Amino acid sequence: MRSHPARTSLPISLFATPNPLHAELFYTVVRAGHLVGGPDHYIQRDHYPGHEIILCLRGRGFTSVNGRRHPVRARQLVWTNCHRPHEHGASADDPWELLWMRIEGPRLDRLAEVLGVAEAPVFVGFDSTLAASLYREIFALVQEQKREAPALIHAALARLIAIIYTARQGQSAAEPQSPAVLQRAIEQMKLFFFKKHRVAELAALCGMSESHFTRLFRAAFGTTPIDWLRRERISQAKRRLAETSDAIKEIAAQVGYADHYFFSKDFKHLTGIPPSEYRRREAARTR
């Protein structure tokens, strides 16, 4: 049985103030450290800048978001959107040891929303050894303050976020909101992408109410069923633009758009360029 410290200590405690340009472009670290928790470790805030990503190395603790308490154990990770009320602390009988970072960056609020951290802030089922090595790599970069450090920190944080994202997909696969329960609707939209689909009909295929189906679909794919279908249609249109000489008006009809002007507008909205320009660029690549 390991002995527990009487009080919390910070063997590593880092502070950083990113250049405004770097803060605009990259994920950045503004505070980080290695914490050896004692029974006294407890933090409660109404709001605070940034997002905290906490890796529990050993011991136990908890995090509380939206009034719901979530236990945290060794080799688990916590994501906290600090802009909202939150609290966390160590278990009194087995205080945790942590690596942690407070990060800022473009669209982190949206990323936290997609990951569902307000409802499920604890992540499991990932390579905690790899995650810990990324923390330590980032700590070293923050301390070195080399010219290339901001880009390297961003890259390491992106790798860590990829691990977190993949872990959440794995958790979803074991829960009712898994894509498996949505498979009939997905197959219907993939096979008949050119047809008009109503959410109520797709929900009925899966034996769900419309609201429940929409909620599970968004949890699984991060978007609505109709937006998923739009993107599938545009993907099919890309193939036809690249592989056939069919007129754009014909392709619009083939993928389910009654109005080819609206198709062109939607295509540009989702890809950044008009269909004609997409075809021209794809043709150039095959020469």
Domain boundary assignment for the chain? 9-173, 179-285
Burial 276-287 (b: 16+ CB within 10 A, else e): eebbeeeeeeee
C-alpha span between 179 and 60 (Å, rounded): 31
In the chain, % of residues over pLDDT 90: 73
Task: Summarize pLDDT for 246-285 with one digit per residue, the tens.
Answer: 999 999 999 999 999 999 999 999 999 999 999 988 877 6
Helix (H) or strand (E) segment spanning residue 241:
helix 225-243
C-alpha span between 266 and 273 (Å, rounded): 10
pTM assigned to the model: 0.67
- Categorize the per-residue pLDDT at 172 as very low, low, confident or very high, splitting at 50, 70 and 90: low
Residue 285: CA count within 13 A, CB half-sphere: 8
For the domain covering 179-285, report its CATH number: 1.10.10.60
Task: Please count the other Cβ atoms lying within 10 Å of the Cβ belonging to residue 115.
Answer: 21
CATH homologous superfamily for 9-173? Regulatory protein AraC (2.60.120.280)
- Provide the mean pLDDT of the chain: 90
> Residue 103: exposed, middle, or buried by beta-carbon count in 10 A (0-12, 13-18, 19+)?
buried
- Categorize the per-residue pLDDT at 142 as very low, low, confident or very high, splitting at 50, 70 and 90: very high
